[in-house]
Structure 1
Amino acid sequence: MKIVIIGAGEIGYDLASVLSSEKHDVTVLDREKECLNKVSDSLDVLTIEGNATSVKDLVKTDVAEADILISVTSIDEVNMISGMIGKRLGAKMVIARIRSDEFSDDNAPLTPSDLGIDVMIHPELSAAQEIAQLLKRSSASDVINLAEDRMQLIGIRLEPDSPLIGKSLNEYSALHSDVTFRVVAIGRRGRTIIPNGSVKLQKYDQMFVLAKTENIPFIIETTGKKEMELNSVMIAGGSAMGAMIARILCADPSKNWSIKLIEPDYDTAEELAIELKEVMVLNGNPTDPDLLATEGISDMDAFIAVTDDEESNIISCLMAKHLEVKKTVALVSKPDFIPLAQTIGLDAVINKKVAASNEIHRYVRRGRVISVTELRGIKAEVIELQANEGSKITNKPIKKLRLPDGCVIGGVLCDGSVEIATGATEVKANDRVMIFCVPSAIDKVTKLFQ
């Protein structure tokens, strides 16, 4: 597939890395030579220096032959104009990063399709929604909704006193045979394990478990952790994402959250205070330990750090954890920081690039692929696929299928009912199947559904 990426920033680089590793024909356009050099030095892609809003420069990228044009610069207007031009020049699908809410509003005078944009992505909003979801599962480091929210995949870090330490997955399953669940992946000291029943759990394992949504609280309890009621939240950083998190929590019909938000810019803080009547907005440095202590960080149930300085996000979350805040979430952008943050004791980390990549991947692997989600901290992905009539995956018990190495079937959605997969489960045509696999197995497993 020929893919043109406009913008060689963090998100553009991450997408180019993932898509080129999957053997797509990738071209990256940017006006900054330094960003392009970083891309060309480490990735097998074509780079072109040029202006994203120039017809002449877009023609150089062969955009007319592109299956997908992805515009992810940091400026909404540039993404919109380059998307419009690309569509007129012949790009089959246009995906653009648009952060302004004005174009997603139901009453917007212009819609993305009016501008020639097929898919509008908003990584910051996706990440903000994920953080809000994490606050509802206080013990989990990851929460992914699947099968129309009827199943959930949760990530849980096993503490040294967990009753599961030293037990095999077969033993774990036998202990709780009245509930069906599946351990689909384990992150262990930088390694990714797609486990079988004989694998034994160790302390500090990051365990990913799939179960029906109503059974998730019980699964968390089996690990030795307890779901805690979170009511008070402090948000460090009133940037776009910090404000979005506050808006999502204020609109939550199930709970009346107590929220404090700290923003260093006076004008921005004043605007947020006027808009968010239910939020206590403070003007100050959100990484200042004295300010955090004065404003009662030790009395908070959750602390969320989403400033532009990721090192400060990690440090302030560590301080919050030291003061026994129940849940800490840090925004990070460097992939290397994700496993590190969890190793040193943070409850969860969020990465905007992963959110963008997850959104875009569904369209790159379109067809029978319903969704693709990358698991943070380990090299594995969750793919939701629909089985074709007569495909190799159908009409055989899972235990008789020749699945590629590094791949496991977790669950099946059939005619509105959900089933956690066992060896006897059979996939039928048009069933939706949740697959967990390492990146190298994705293409092989996708072919089984064709």
Structure 2
Amino acid sequence: MKAIVCGAGQVGVGIARALAREGNAVTVVDWSPRLIDSVVTELDVRGVVGHGSHPDVLQRAGAAEADLLVAVTHSDETNMVACQVAHSLFNTPMRIARVRAQNYLDPAWGDLFSTGNLPVDVVISPELEVGRAILQRVETPGAFNTAVFSGGRVQLLGLRLDENSPVAGSTTEQLMELFPDLRVAVVGVQREQTLFIPKRTDPLLAGDDVYVVTESAHVKRMLDIFGRSAEKIRRVVVIGAGNIGVYVARALERADGVKVRLVEASKEHAEFAAEKLKKTVVLHGDGLDARLMREAGVPDAELVVCVTNDDKVNLLSAVMAKREGAKRALSLVNERAFESLREALGIDVLIDPRATTVSIILQHIRRGRITGLQSLGGGLAEALEGIALSTSPLVGKSLDTLELPDGVALCAVVRGDRVILPCDEGRIRENDRVLLFCNTALIPKVEHLFRVSLEYF
């Protein structure tokens, strides 16, 4: 596949890296020679310096031969115009644009992004996607990562094992012997900088980040068994009244029995949030002010969500919130270098907007019938859900004899309302939803499983 990525920021580089790693021909366009030099040096991609929406620049980038254009510059308008030019002048088949301004996404203008108007096939709103990711973490407070598949029937959770975890030191085999009715599949383990698929005889050690898959109805029991159960969330403090903070507060307002308070340093933003929110108490002040934290109810909160536009403020607010007595703290962090500080700072969850946005975009790019995707372990692995077509090599295979490449694990099969886990008996049928966990390097092989094909690999 030939792809053009407009924008050499963190998201653009993340998309380019993922596509280039899979052997695609990728061209990155950006007006900054410094950013283009950096991405060309780091990745096996071609670089073009210029404005991403200018016809001559897209022509130099190869838009006439490209299968895909992904526009993720810092300007919504540039992204939309780039898609328009790619469609009108070069007939580029697929066009994806990142759009941040919520006015463009108002349902009142639902026909805006269509072939007859603005020909954007997929519109990605990072704020909304990050907001949804935060709400998923709220629903499973004991997990550092959460992904929902098959319309909510299946969940993949990332769980940190500590010394007090009841399963620390146990193998998957022993786990299933102790809890024979536990509906769970252990599909991945990240130990230090290595992420691998454990064998049934591999022990799960304290300090491991373990990725497990289960039916949504069994999540609570699984969290109890892994020692990651947490109090039901009733009091939440949100620090930061940007698009993400307001989106999260508004969603939490609809939850039964949840009280929300929001802290915002900008008076203008605080007043705007107060107008938009119905039940949330909005406080104007510095999220790093201990007195204001206590006034906002941080010491009694089950969760503090730090989502300002400053990584350092988010990290420090989360640390202070835990010190003031908050049960859990979640922090939004854009800078990848800060991710390693999560455990040292005692922050429960870090949300990386870049990784969230990249996962959503990749879901739309993947070939075959991919219906769900989540990037895991800092990009070391992915969970992909796809539909098994009639000619897929998966169809007809028994779960207990299914031969997958090393580095690929079966997580679950969903057939209607029925969830089938690897420990169950049965065969994969046409139109089943199949969820796989794989090392990133093996994604082309996994994609092949969901494509119409007569050959196996």
5+ residue gaps in structure 2? 452-457
Instruction: Give me the whole-angstrom Cα distance separating, in 2, the residues matched to 1:193 and 1:344.
Output: 26
Which residue number in structure 2 is paired with residue 380 of structure 1? Answer: 381
Which residue number in structure 2 is paired with residue 38 of structure 1? Answer: 38
Q: Which runs of 4+ in 1 moved over 6 A?
A: none
Which residue number in structure 1 is paired with residue 58 of structure 2? Answer: 58
How far 1:238 moved relative to its partner? Answer: 1.3
How far 1:25 moved relative to its partner? Answer: 0.9
* 2:25 paired with 1:22: no
Which residue number in structure 2 is paired with residue 97 of structure 1? Answer: 98
* 2:110 paired with 1:134: no
* 2:262 paired with 1:261: yes
How far 1:339 moved relative to its partner? Answer: 4.2
The farther-off stretch of 294-303 and 123-132 is 294-303
After the TM superposition, which residues 154-233 of structure 1 pair with which residues of structure 2 at under 5 Å, given as runs? 154-233=157-236
- Contact 1:58 1:86 survives alignment (8 Å): yes
Which residue number in structure 2 is paired with residue 321 of structure 1? Answer: 322
Which residue number in structure 2 is paired with residue 238 of structure 1? Answer: 241
How far 1:161 moved relative to its partner? Answer: 1.0
The residue identity in structure 2 corresponding to 1:404 is P
Which residue number in structure 2 is paired with residue 427 of structure 1? Answer: 428
How far 1:110 moved relative to its partner? Answer: 4.2
Instruction: Give me the whole-angstrom Cα distance separating, in 2, the residues matched to 1:5 and 1:306.
Output: 27
Which residue number in structure 1 is paired with residue 283 of structure 2? Answer: 282
Deviations along 1:341-360, one digit per CA (max 9) or x if unpaired, are 14543211111111111111
Instruction: Give me the whole-angstrom Cα distance separating, in 2, the residues matched to 1:399 and 1:378.
Output: 29
Which residue number in structure 1 is paired with residue 304 of structure 2? Answer: 303
What is the DSSP-based 3-state SS (H/G/I as helix, E as strand, rest coil) of the residue aligned with 2:207? Answer: coil
* 2:391 paired with 1:405: no
How far 1:67 moved relative to its partner? Answer: 0.8
- Contact 1:231 1:257 survives alignment (8 Å): yes
Instruction: Give me the whole-angstrom Cα distance separating, in 1, the residues matched to 2:278 and 2:394.
Output: 53
User: How many aligned residue pairs are there?
Assistant: 448
- Contact 1:4 1:61 survives alignment (8 Å): yes
Deviations along 1:148-183, one digit per CA (max 9) or x if unpaired, are 111111122122111111111110111111122101
RMSD across aligned positions (CA): 1.9
Q: Identity across aligned pairs (percent)? A: 30
Instruction: Give me the whole-angstrom Cα distance separating, in 1, the residues matched to 2:424 and 2:224.
Output: 26
Which residue number in structure 2 is paired with residue 83 of structure 1? Answer: 83
How far 1:431 moved relative to its partner? Answer: 1.3
- Contact 1:397 1:423 survives alignment (8 Å): no
Give TM-score scaled by structure 2 length: 0.93
Instruction: Give me the whole-angstrom Cα distance separating, in 1, the residues matched to 2:416 and 2:256.
Output: 33
Instruction: Give me the whole-angstrom Cα distance separating, in 1, the residues matched to 2:424 and 2:152.
Output: 24
How far 1:321 moved relative to its partner? Answer: 2.2
- Contact 1:332 1:338 survives alignment (8 Å): yes
The farther-off stretch of 424-433 and 203-212 is 424-433
How far 1:423 moved relative to its partner? Answer: 7.0
Instruction: Give me the whole-angstrom Cα distance separating, in 2, the residues matched to 1:283 and 1:19.
Output: 44
- Contact 1:289 1:316 survives alignment (8 Å): no
The residue identity in structure 2 corresponding to 1:140 is A
**Against the structure 1 CA distance between its residues 275 and 448, is the aligned structure 2 distance closer, same or farther, given a 3 Å change threshold?**
closer
How far 1:42 moved relative to its partner? Answer: 0.9
- Contact 1:262 1:284 survives alignment (8 Å): yes
Instruction: Give me the whole-angstrom Cα distance separating, in 1, the residues matched to 2:230 and 2:245.
Output: 24
Give TM-score scaled by structure 1 length: 0.94
Deviations along 1:69-117, one digit per CA (max 9) or x if unpaired, are 1111122111111111111121111100112333333321642112010
How far 1:377 moved relative to its partner? Answer: 4.4
Deviations along 1:114-162, one digit per CA (max 9) or x if unpaired, are 2010110112211111111211222121221111111111122122111
Counterpart of 1:116 (choices 119, 126, 130) is 119
Instruction: Give me the whole-angstrom Cα distance separating, in 1, the residues matched to 2:429 and 2:323.
Output: 51
- Contact 2:366 2:447 survives alignment (8 Å): no
The residue identity in structure 2 corresponding to 1:273 is A
The farther-off stretch of 400-409 and 389-398 is 389-398
The residue identity in structure 1 corresponding to 2:274 is A
